[in-house]
Amino acid sequence: IDDAQQAQAGKSNMVECGPEKLYITPGKPSPEGGQAAAAALRRAIDDLRVGSIDALVTAPIDKAMIQSDEFSYTGHTEFLAKELDGTPLMIMTSELMRVGLATIHLPVADIAENISTELIRERIEQLNDSMRQDFGVVRPKIAVLALNPHAGDGGLLGKEEEEIIKPAIVGAYEDGILAFGPFAADGFFASAQFKHYDAILAMYHDQGLAPFKLLTPKGVNFTASLDKVRTSPDHG
């Protein structure tokens, strides 16, 4: 049916995908449920590519049950990075703040070795571009968080700030991006410094998402830097 008929009927178009017979117990994880979720996601991506749908809103998945030989990703964002053009940037957004992540779904033990000046510089540029193109901020101010407590305390608590993060910020600023930092994360959020910036780049998942979810009761997970639009609930 066309859009007008659909609106008048008060119904939504549903697309069947996955096995014809699916036996699951609501609220109980199962491999069958995981396979059905993967099938629905792949069908949505196919429809997104050909233009049958305009945007993708994903619901939470059970990341343990969805794993298989055909689906071995740590989350939707990593899957989208493989299936769609672009290098995705995860942004948590609300009326109060916007937080982008330098690294996404990594074990804490692996975060430091996966951070580089090149990566942070790329993330700053992505965040800047998204603020301008997706959010209409003409000259966005971007705060970059430190990795270590107290922003490394001059090297006493880690050298990543001086050797990796700060050079990325300086390089971006010299190229005309209003990037500042690195800021110690605890004081940055506790003192409400975040209110003075259009976007924040956190170094890892919980550093950005814990204060975001605490301070913003309603938010959206937006995947930037793709050629398609994808959002999801912020609660995962």
Residue 201 near residue 124 (C-beta atoms within 8 A): yes
* Region for 103 from its dihedrals, namely left if φ exceeds 0, alpha if ψ lies in -120 to 50, beta otherwise: beta
pLDDT at 5: 62
Over 70: is that where the pLDDT of 6 sits? no
8 A C-beta contact, residue 77 and residue 196: no
Task: Give per-residue burial for 180-214: e unless 16+ CB within 10 Å, then b.
Answer: bbbbbbeebbeeeebeebbbbbbbbbebbbebbbe
Say what the pLDDT of residue 63 is: 87
Average pLDDT over residues 195-218: 95
The pLDDT, as a whole number, for residue 234 is 83
The pTM (predicted TM-score) of the whole model is 0.86
pLDDT score, position 182: 98
184 has pLDDT over 90: yes
More confident residue, 165 or 84: 165
Strands 55-57 and 229-233, bridge-based pairing: parallel
Q: Residue holding tokens 């008060």?
A: 10
pLDDT of residue 93: 96
Mean of pLDDT values over 44-59: 91
For residue 236, pLDDT beyond 90: no
Whether 22 shows a pLDDT value over 90: the answer reads no
146-170 average pLDDT score: 96
The C-alpha atoms of residue 3 and residue 19 are separated, in whole angstroms, by: 28
Is 73's pLDDT higher than 80?
Answer: yes
Q: For 113-126, what is the mean pLDDT?
A: 98
156 has a pLDDT exceeding 70: yes
